[in-house]
Amino acid sequence: MYLQFQKQGLYLSFINRQVNHMTIAITGATGQLGRLAIAALKARGVQPIALARNIAKAADLGVETRAFEYTNADPAVMNGVDTLVLISSSDFNDRIGQHRRAIAAAKAAGVGRILYTSILKGDASPMILAQDHIATEAALRESGIPATILRNGWYTENYTGALGPAIQHGAIIGAAGEGRVSSAARKDYAEAIAVTALDAAHTGKTHELAGDTAHTGAEFAAAVATASGKPVAYVSMPQSDYAKALHGFGLPEGFALVLADSDACAANGALYDDSQTLSRLIGRPTTPMSATISAALLGA
């Protein structure tokens, strides 16, 4: 029995040494998901490399930082990188072109594996927003670089960013009708990045990731009302009207149309998933919607 535990201890020590010598780089490191992914890796004893357009903004991350542009990806920036976490670009101007350049740079630098943050249901998603992700998944297959695809569902924070005006006016608007959305907190998805980046067993796999518990717009509004102590209702409207409302709030017209399309697709289940793959990956239940709402209200 002692020998068995001794062997197990030696094996775990070997694995830890392998992890500590693995070089992981993360694009979009100063973004909301990138920062959380770096924190999740650091919590596991790993110091990733932060790839950021503005390295000054990455100074507080406490890790090695390299200047990186999606639009002009330099292979030299990825020298020595074993695993690249390719967080999808937030710039919708030729996003697939940006991703292809990043993948080409990774291949030229000899990166051994890429993790890509895609979208829930991937090529089965009817959302306009899915098109760049579908094309990126195809580019990864064509590159020949071993990959792990993390098909992220909606972040609960997508709904909590404008709670102040919603509470003030007593209404949350959308176009999702009675559609159920399996959202999870951004930190849940960040932990999935850390877990899969550190385990080569996920190479070649595609994970559909979403929150454990789905909610309708009305249920989300009710949770906001409970947390704030003020009446808040969900108002579902036609897709075109919702797009006009978003544009009226100051969003660029094209982006407003994309968001309205996403909401309308959610009405038909595009953002629903009950596999609980995310919670199994991170080893705990996903963050309750109410907790994310409360945190947003405290930070408001």
Same-domain pairing of 176 and 40: no
Give the mean pLDDT of the chain.
Answer: 92
Residue holding tokens 């309205």? 260
Chain mean position to CA 124: 18
> Which tokens belong to 26?
């993360």
For 198-241, write each residue's pLDDT tens digit.
999 999 999 999 999 999 999 999 999 999 999 999 999 999 99
**3-state DSSP assignment of residue 162:** coil
Query: Does 205 fall in a domain?
Result: no
What average pLDDT score do residues 117-134 get? 97
Query: Does 95 fall in a domain?
Result: yes
Query: Does 202 fall in a domain?
Result: no
Same-domain pairing of 164 and 127: no
Comparing 138-142, 281-285, 296-300, the range with the smallest average pLDDT is 296-300
Same-domain pairing of 35 and 65: yes
Same-domain pairing of 40 and 62: yes
Cα dihedral: 124, 129, 132, 136 (round 10):
-50
Q: Report the relative pairing of strands 49-52 and 65-67 from DSSP bridges.
A: parallel
Q: What is the pLDDT of residue 67?
A: 96
Report d(CA 241, CA 259) in Å as an integer: 12
Answer whether residue 292 shows pLDDT above 90. yes
In CATH, what number is assigned to the domain containing residue 129? Answer: 3.40.50.720
Answer whether residue 13 shows pLDDT above 80. no
Q: What is the pLDDT of residue 300?
A: 57
Query: Does 19 fall in a domain?
Result: yes
Q: What is the pLDDT of residue 93?
A: 85
What average pLDDT score do residues 127-140 get? 97
For 150-209, write each residue's pLDDT tens digit.
999 999 999 998 899 999 999 999 999 999 999 999 999 999 999 999 999 999 999 999
Query: Does 206 fall in a domain?
Result: no
> Which tokens belong to 242?
């919702």
Answer whether residue 274 shows pLDDT above 60. yes
Range of the domain at 177: 154-185+211-274+283-300
Q: What is the pLDDT of residue 207?
A: 98
Cβ atoms within 10 Å, residue 244: 16
Residue holding tokens 């951004």? 186
Q: Which is more confidently placed, 12 or 222?
A: 222
Same-domain pairing of 228 and 119: no
Report d(CA 255, CA 160) in Å as an integer: 18
Tally of structural domains, the chain? 2
Report d(CA 242, CA 244) in Å as an integer: 5
For 55-114, write each residue's pLDDT tens digit.
999 999 999 999 999 998 999 999 999 999 999 998 888 999 999 999 999 999 999 999
Q: What is the pLDDT of residue 21?
A: 62
Same-domain pairing of 50 and 132: yes
